[in-house]
C-alpha cells in the first residue's frame, strides 16, 4: 500500500487579502509560520518517509518547518508548483471579476474549461501532476509520501488519484495548512481524510472560495 498525504502550504501574505499568487512568490505570514509548526506536530503521527515540495517560498518554508518535526529534508519538485495564473497573477479577486468577468465565471462554474491568458489551464496542471504521481507510485511503493503544494495542484491530484473529472475540481476543500490522505491499494484509491484542519485550533482560517 502507498499512502499519499497532500498538504497545502500555510498562510501566505496574499491569502488573507484574496490575491492570486500563481508563480509569484510571497512569504508566509507570522500566522502561517505558526500554522506550519502545528501542522508539523500533527503530521508526526503519519510516519512520513519522504516529503516533496513545490519550489515556491510559501510551500518550501512550510515544508522546511514540517520537515524539521519529521526529521526529513524536503525534496523540491517543479511539477507540483502552483498553476500559472497568467494575467491574473498579483490581482485581487475583485479586480479579476471586474477585468475578466467571463473568464472568472468560467473559472468558478466550469473550471475544466478554464485557461488563464498568458498562463496555464487546469488540464496543463493535471498533466504534470499526473506524471509526478505515476512516478511516485513506482518509486515509493509501501511508503508514506508527503506532498506540500497549492490549491490547484492538490485538487488536480485528487481528481487524478480518484479518477474524477476536472469539472468536480471545486468539490474538494483545501484550506491553508490542511492535509488530505489517500491510500492506494489493490488498484484503487481510497480518500481516507479530506482537508484536515483540526490541528490548527484558533489559527484556522477558511480558504477563499475563488482561489
Residue 4: exposure state from Cβ atoms within 10 A (0-12, 13-18, ≥19): buried
Q: Are 94 and 137 in contact (CB under 8 A)?
A: no
Catalytic residue among 46, 85, 150, 168: 150
The three grid cell numbers given for residue 93, joined into one nine-digit string: 479577486
H or E stretch at 153? helix 151-162
Beta bridge partners of 147: 6, 52
Active site residue 208: no
Catalytic residue among 9, 46, 85, 140: 9
CA distance 125 to 26: 21
Active site residue 168: no
Catalytically active residues are 9, 150
Amino acid at each position: 500500500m502507498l499512502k499519499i498525504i497532500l498538504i497545502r502550504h500555510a498562510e501566505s501574505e496574499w491569502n488573507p487579502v484574496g490575491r492570486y499568487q500563481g508563480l509569484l512568490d510571497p512569504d508566509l505570514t507570522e500566522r502561517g509560520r505558526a500554522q506550519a509548526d502545528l501542522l508539523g506536530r500533527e503530521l508526526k503521527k503519519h510516519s512520513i518517509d519522504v516529503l516533496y515540495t513545490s519550489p515556491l517560498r510559501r510551500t518550501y518554508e512550510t515544508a522546511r518547518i514540517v520537515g524539521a518535526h519529521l526529521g526529513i529534508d524536503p525534496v523540491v519538485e517543479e511539477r507540483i508548483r502552483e498553476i500559472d495564473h497568467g494575467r491574473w497573477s498579483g490581482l485581487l479577486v475583485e479586480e479579476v471579476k471586474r477585468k475578466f468577468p467571463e473568464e472568472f465565471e468560467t473559472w468558478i462554474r466550469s473550471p475544466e474549461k478554464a485557461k488563464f491568458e498568458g498562463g496555464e489551464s487546469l488540464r496543463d496542471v493535471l498533466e504534470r501532476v499526473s506524471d509526478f504521481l505515476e512516478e511516485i507510485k513506482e518509486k515509493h511503493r509501501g511508503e508514506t509520501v508527503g506532498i506540500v503544494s497549492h490549491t490547484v495542484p492538490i485538487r488536480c491530484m485528487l481528481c487524478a488519484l480518484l479518477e474524477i473529472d476536472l469539472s468536480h475540481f471545486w468539490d474538494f476543500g483545501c484550506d491553508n495548512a490542511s492535509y488530505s490522505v489517500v491510500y492506494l491499494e489493490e488498484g484503487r484509491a481510497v480518500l481516507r481524510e479530506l482537508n484536515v484542519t483540526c490541528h490548527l485550533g484558533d489559527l484556522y482560517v477558511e480558504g477563499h472560495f475563488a482561489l
